[in-house]
Structure 1
Amino acid sequence: MLRYVLNEDDVGAVRFALSPLCELGLSLRAIREPARFPLQLGWLRRTEEARERLDMRVLGALIDERMWTPDFLNPRPASPLTRLEDEFRALAATPADVFRSDLVAVHGHVPEVFAGSTSQALRRIIRALRQLWETCFEPYWPRMRAVLEADVVYRGRQIAQAGVASMLNGLSPRIAYDHGVVSVRLADPNDRTLAIDGNGLTLMPTMFTRRASAPVGDGPPMILYSARGQGALWEAEPVANPAAVAAVLGETRASLLAALGDPASSTELGVRFGVTASAVNQHLRVLRDAGLLVSTRYGRSVLYLRSELGSALLESRSG
């Protein structure tokens, strides 16, 4: 059990963040044991051929049989807009003692593949992770990030409507908040109680944690939890003729719903369907209000993505 003790100021400073590097590291769990991550089987199928070309000797040494990864792969993001290249630069600068102690905390020793020069080992790790990113993540990252950001938007709405305590208690069955203490039930049999002491608690949605995760060591306070909305992430491609749905929603809205298996902005959709931006926005608002779409801000744009309910509606009419 891990317990984070928060004072009143700490509760008000709880923040959310996303980390591409964390997603890369945690994805090794699904690669190692696909059966434990059924929601990511679509991603695993799509990337199966590409993963055959990865440096699995290096990547495999970054995870153990407990599905733990070293803390240097789980940095606390400095910004909600953290870029992978910035994280790679920070990873390359990991001190030798930290690098080795993080590996020992996971494996009990430094794996043979990382013996010798720390800088050389870090270069190999970054090279292997970059290949993983370019072949298996980059093509799907906009869609994955849209789901992660939609989760953050949802949690923010929870805080506004019901408060931080309600939000924390809704993150996962493994996470509980009571009287200033956030308790996280982990696979680690050791009990740890850590005071936040003004260091801020960071919450991070991820695609590759089934319940809840936290740093292996006593690093910056951080909890990783399973993002909402993953069920529709790897659904089949949009149906070609959603005629039955069109009879209910109208042809334009049905077409938009079918197209939004991948996230897109209203501007992009307007161009694709030959509809004015104002008309597209009106249709999207109706679909979102009906629970058929989710939306989230991505940079200067608002991205829309079909919800699980929207996917279920299309499937029920296309079978």
Structure 2
Amino acid sequence: MLVAHLDGPTLARLRLATSPAAEVTSWLQAALSPFGHPVHGDPGPAARAALRHPDVALVAQLVTPPGRGGYTPDLLTPKPPLGPPDAVFEEQLAAAEATSAGEVAVQVHERFPAGRMPVCVRAAVDDGTLARRVADGLRHFWRAALADQWPALRAMLEAELALQATTMATTGVGSVLNSLHPRLAWTGRALTIDSSYRITTALAGAELVLAPSVLAWPHISTQLCDAGNAVLVYPLGARQAGQRRGGLGELVGASRAAILADLDVPRSTRQLSERHQLAPATVSYHLGVLLRSGLVLRSRDRHSVLYRRSADGEELVGRRPGQEPTRSASRRKTAWVGEPGSGT
């Protein structure tokens, strides 16, 4: 459990902002996965080609591998500054480049706590070029893989900012904090986040930025131990994303959508194969993608391996864990049509 105590001045300074650096880091992570993004599919050949750039490859070593837990250095995702929205990304890159050598070393050693630091990373830390090269790598990957899509992403993010600003004005900060993610809760004095980390921290008189993300889905990421760089990146809700993009079938693909919807109770690969008339290997592939995306959980019952929806999976199909299917949910299931062009 991660617990962050927030004092009154911190709550008074809390604000909402977009974080292009968080989006580009999430998209780079998706490009590193052979399965692409769990919602948006294959980042495409331009993103994969950009990974060959030496500075992008250096950043890729610092990003937590897809499907694994761990720490990604905060210097990749600086707090979005105040100012014109069009200038935010370049100012974030300037903040990354300005990270002190000592702070770079601390963050990189936290990323590789077992001492298995890649040679290229160690060399960049030792010669003092890592912060500059991180900024250059993020800028190169942005231009190659994300800049053309940014206007559409930004529109979604700004709609979310407007929604949360209205919620904050009408029902208060606590209501906003309690709505951001199923694993996050506001107690009235502290944020609690269900996490494998066991950390308790406090923000006093700090500026905390809440940054919605399209590409970080379904994960929530926090930078709450540094009062000067306090950011909480949360994914746009799966239900809202489904409304914008035309349903779960368009989000994860019709085959995976059907399998995910059928996991109201635990089922095996063989059972799903028979129920959906798909080859066992095909079902196994789709379950593997859903498992790595955190949408399903796996357990063993005697000689069978069973799969069921996780809390994120329940959120994606529009239900709370344990909630019975409704008629409207059943109607949604029948409308899940269409496979994305890739990543299905």
TM-score (structure 1 length as normaliser) = 0.65
1:107 aligns with 2:107: no
Q: State the partner residue of 1:173.
A: 182
What residue is the counterpart of 1:22 in the other structure?
22
Q: Is the 8 A contact 2:30 2:37 kept in 1?
A: yes
Residues 1:73 and 2:76 are matched in the alignment: yes
Distance 2:100 2:245 in 1: 37
Q: 2:97 aligns with which of 85, 92, 107?
A: 92
Distance of 2:3 and 2:34 partners within structure 1: 30
Contact 1:2 1:185 in 2 (8 A): yes
Deviations 1:271-301 (Å, cap 9, x if unpaired)?
xxxxxxxxxxxxxxxxxxxxxxxxxxxxxxx
- Corresponding residue of 2:320: none
Cα drift, residue 5 of structure 1: 1.3
For the aligned residue pairs, the C-alpha RMSD in angstroms reads 3.0
AA aligned to 2:157 is: L
CA separation of 1:114 and 1:128: change in aligned 2, threshold 3 A: same
TM-score normalised to structure 2 length:
0.60
Query: Is contact 1:57–1:113 with CA below 8 Å preserved after alignment?
Result: no
Question: C-alpha distance in 1, partners of 2:147/2:27?
Answer: 13
What pairs up with 1:1-319 in 2 under 5 angstroms? Answer: 1-33=1-33, 35=35, 37-41=37-41, 44-45=43-44, 47=46, 50-51=49-50, 53-55=52-54, 57-65=57-65, 66=69, 68-79=71-82, 81=85, 82-108=87-113, 109=115, 110-116=117-123, 117-188=126-197, 190=198, 192-206=199-213, 207-215=215-223, 218-219=226-227, 220-228=229-237, 229-231=240-242, 232=244
With over 3 angstroms needed to count, the CA separation of the structure-2 counterparts of 1:200 and 1:90, relative to structure 1, is closer
Structure 2 residue aligned with 1:263: none
Any stretches of 5+ residues in structure 2 without a counterpart?
252-334, 339-344
Q: Which residue of 1 aligns with 2:310?
A: none
Separation (CA, whole Å) in 2 of partners of 1:12 and 1:23: 26
Distance 1:6 1:22, change over 3 A: same
> Cα–Cα, structure 1 residues 104 and 52, in superposed 2: closer, same or farther, change >3 Å?
closer
Size of the alignment, in residue pairs?
Answer: 237
Q: Deviations over 1:99-142 (max 9, x none)?
A: 11111111124431122344433343333222211111111111
Shift in alpha-carbon separation, 1:143–1:187, aligned structure 2, 3 A: farther
Q: What secondary structure is seen at the aligned counterpart in 1 of 2:57? A: helix
Check 1:177–1:118 CA distance in 2 against 1; reply closer, same or farther (3 A cut): farther
Deviations 1:209-228 (A, max 9, x none): 41311128545332110024
CA 1:186 to 1:37, structure 2 compared with 1: closer, same or farther past 3 Å?
farther
In structure 2, C-alpha distance between the alignment counterparts of 1:75 and 1:180, rounded to whole Å:
25
- How far did residue 86 of structure 1 move? 1.9
State the 1:187 CA deviation: 3.7
